[in-house]
A and B are shown apart, each in its own frame.
Chain A
Amino acid sequence: MLTDATADKIRCDACPVMCYIKPGAAGACDRYANHNGELVRVDPHIVLERTVSHGGRLVPFQATGDWDGELVREPSVFVTAIGAGTTYPDYKPAPFIVSSEIDGVDMVTVVTEGIFSYCGVKVKIDTDRYLGPETATVRAQGEAVGHVTTSEYGSQMLSLGGVHHLTGGSKKEGRVTCDALMDLSNCKPVELTIDGGATVVVQAGYPPIVNGVAEERMRVGCGSATIGMFAKQWHGKVDEVVVVDDHITGVLSEHQAGKLLDIPDTGIKMKGRRSTPGRYFQVAEPGTGWGGTMISDPLSVLGPFDPRTARSGMTMLMVSTTGEHSAYYELDETLRPIEKPMPADLRQSVERIQENCEPALCTVLFMGGAGGSLRAGVTDNPVRLTRSVKEALTRVTSGGAPVYVWPGGGITFMVDVTRLPAGAFGYVPTPALVAPIEFTLRLSDYAALGGHMDHVRPLASLKENTEIRQMSPRPPGPRA
């Protein structure tokens, strides 16, 4: 490799064409590229081998020379759409040319296109901490890239990207959105700020970092559910339990589970709005404190105990729905709760709550689609075609990863980005994301229509330098 002193381009000496290659670009052959001033080889098509057992056996693809050239040999082996230079900013999909020797068809030329203007990511953040109000704008580098959408059980949800932010706003908004989507899709960390809410660092497969604090666990359930799950374990060990939760705070003595165990009233007085016995909404404003509320002192959700029922020396456990916060109290002569060291058996129940909380992760689903342009064509026999399309849809994959194809028109699919090989997503300056999408061409309806294409074989540059990658059977992560 020769370097050009006057510019950041390099001159490739891999062949006599001697291309000058700019950073981030590839030479005429698409086999060599300039990666940060370094000449790198980028041409291997990536072939994913998904072993049936999750044990992860790597099958030599060509070293033994026994590859028969089939693209679709078994359902678990196929060529992905991830081609040369996918990681480069100016990735341009080369025509994907396949050749076959199937009866009746000698050659097939295919033009791939996986450029998605209509695309985005759905981010699930396992936390009960308050990230921001529903529909609040989510920003990256100050630009609007999406919004907070309806939360799911134990998780906050963000909807990012989409054609509105990619191409509907300012040029900078589009570029920042595209960058954020690509980074999230390539499993890189992205800092997001929510209007009127928190700053959260999101990275697929890793715990969210909310306002600088890494989340550890999802809640075991809402406060009421937690009472139901642990009432028996608390019975006889403590007079009262309050499970503090942003959604429903539970009170053992009033809760149906407590009643069934004949737990006597304690004269406790909760703030907030009573839903049904022992279940309280809105005991405090949402926040990043106890149980997803803003409180740091749990006693602030309590009013004074009723002196007709309460008695001095009564015991009370207060705990959050993740077990992350907990405190033990005894009522003094004036019926004021005084914090005391927690007895071992109660400490154990708190640890049990923690144990039952799953690790909190960020998960990122890439979602893209193209309405009419991705639909199959029509034939003389639309019913047969419709069937074949449906069959084909079951074989849609993205970078080898299984996808969920949304029912209805077009092909709108979702894929867990942690299941794609590294750097599988690219972009074009439109701006739009380039996502790998494969459609196996073993198409039964071709046979019916004379095509007879039950296999498709790769033609060019597939045999050499083919890289085998293991499909991850489940998302990788720090705990995997």
Chain B
Amino acid sequence: METSPHGVQSLMRNIRIIARLDVKTEHLVKGIQLEGLRKLGVPNDFARKYYQAGIDEIIYMDIVASLYERNSLLPIVRQASSDIFIPMTVSGGIRSVENARAALGAGADKVGVNTAAIKSPQLISDIAAEFGSQCMVSSIEAKNTRINIWEAYYDNGREKTGINAIEWAKECEKRGAGEILLTSVDREGVGNGMDIDLISNVCDVVNIPVIASGGIGNIAHMKDVITHTNVSAVAIAKILHYGDSSIADIKAALRQLEGIEIR
């Protein structure tokens, strides 16, 4: 029996499958360990395809926003909101309540914050207070440093913080985050499976939903993370972008898992 995010015992655990789209200027990009970013095409061509195939949510991640100190996702999200009717999260370059307001105004349902929250954790509380916790996703980039220790990174996995990622997840929840997007920098883009230890450690210390990101190379990896952790959602990129697996196949396979509900 699993515990739902709200602490209520339920028989079925609902798992969301999320497509993660890393965006750099007008390109959909994909790297390995967030490095060597390869241009793959127009983000919304992919987003629309995933929506039509039944993906549950979409995360747009502007991965150069911190570099440019701007967010170039708004026109992309605005365009997507006219024909994609599932929850969309905009992450990257959200540095203020006003940035969050603009993203939500453009059609996003949630905003993800990493760099700016590391620099000023108060931003999490401010966004949650203004728009509600359900809008406030704490994006955490975690890198394994020692056995069972992870450090939070920012700027697309490039900058160290010295902050323990597990402690940081607790802090984010305490400050009002409604959800955690947890990316393993080590596993991202490699396709060798997720960092199960990282994900279970975070799931164990927070009560809000955790979206696991980084490492899915096949459907078995998804089964692994769903059965071995209390994760609420899995974000995938590589296998969708490169066409290695279809959303229909993924969902069909996961429906076979006992106690798991897939939309």
Does chain A bind chain B? no
Chain B residues near A (Cβ < 8 Å): none
